[in-house]
Amino acid sequence: MDNGASSYRRFLDGDDKGLAEIVRDYKDGLILYLNSFVNNISIAEELMEETFFKIITKKPRFQAKYSFKTWLYAIGRNVAIDYLRHDSKKSDVSIDDAENYLQDECDLEKLYIIEERKIAVHRALKRLHSEYRQILWLIYFEGFSNANAAAVMKKSSRQMKNLVYRAKSALKSELDKEGFVYEEL
C-alpha cells in the first residue's frame, strides 16, 4: 500500500492531516496532468481543486487494484472530461474532440501505469542481493543471453540457470511485498 492510500484512509477516519498530505504530494502532478486536457493552467488548477473537493465531499472508496495515485488521477480525468463536456456546449470544442481527449487520456493512463510498474520493479531490484540484481539487469534490461551473462559474471551454465531462478523468485517476493499487480494492460 502506498503512502497516498494510508493518508486517504486516515482522512476517512477523521484525520485532516491525511488529506493535507495527499494534497501536498499529488496536487502539482495532478495539475500538469489535467492541463494536458484543457491546455490552460488556471483551469487545470480549478479542476485539481474540484477533484480534491469530490474526494472530500463524496469520500469514494479506494480499491487497491492500482496505486492510489492512479486512482486519484482517474478521478481527476473524470472531472476534466465532465468539464470538457460542459464547456463544449458553450464553446467550439466538439464532442469529437472530447472523444479524442478520452482516447489520448486512455493511452496516457496506460503509459502512466506502465511507468508506475517500471518504478516498482526498479525499487524492488534495489533491495535484491547484488548478484541477483546484476543477473536480472544483464538479461532483462540489457538483453544478454544466458550464455553471455554467464561469461560476464564468470559462471557456468548450470550456475547461471540456478542464479536466474533464485533472482526471479527473490524479485517476485519483493514485488509481492509491495502489492504489485501482475495483470497485463
According to DSSP, residue 61 is labeled P
Tens digits of per-residue pLDDT, 168-184? 999 888 888 877 766 54
pLDDT for residue 114: 76
CB-based contact 23:86 (threshold 8 Å): no
Q: Cα dihedral angle (127, 132, 133, 135), rounded to 10 degrees? A: -170
- What are the structural domains of the chain? 3-126 (1.10.1740.10), 127-185 (1.10.10.10)
pLDDT for residue 101: 60
Query: Which residue, among 44, 26, 27, has the nearest Cα to 35 in the 3D structure?
Result: 44
* CA distance readout (Å), 22 to 34, 47, 86, 169: 17, 16, 28, 34
Q: For the chain, which residues score pLDDT lower than 50?
A: 1, 93, 184-185
Tens digits of per-residue pLDDT, 101-132? 666 666 667 777 777 777 778 888 888 887 88
Residue 58 has φ and ψ, to the nearest 5°, of -90, -20
pLDDT for residue 50: 94
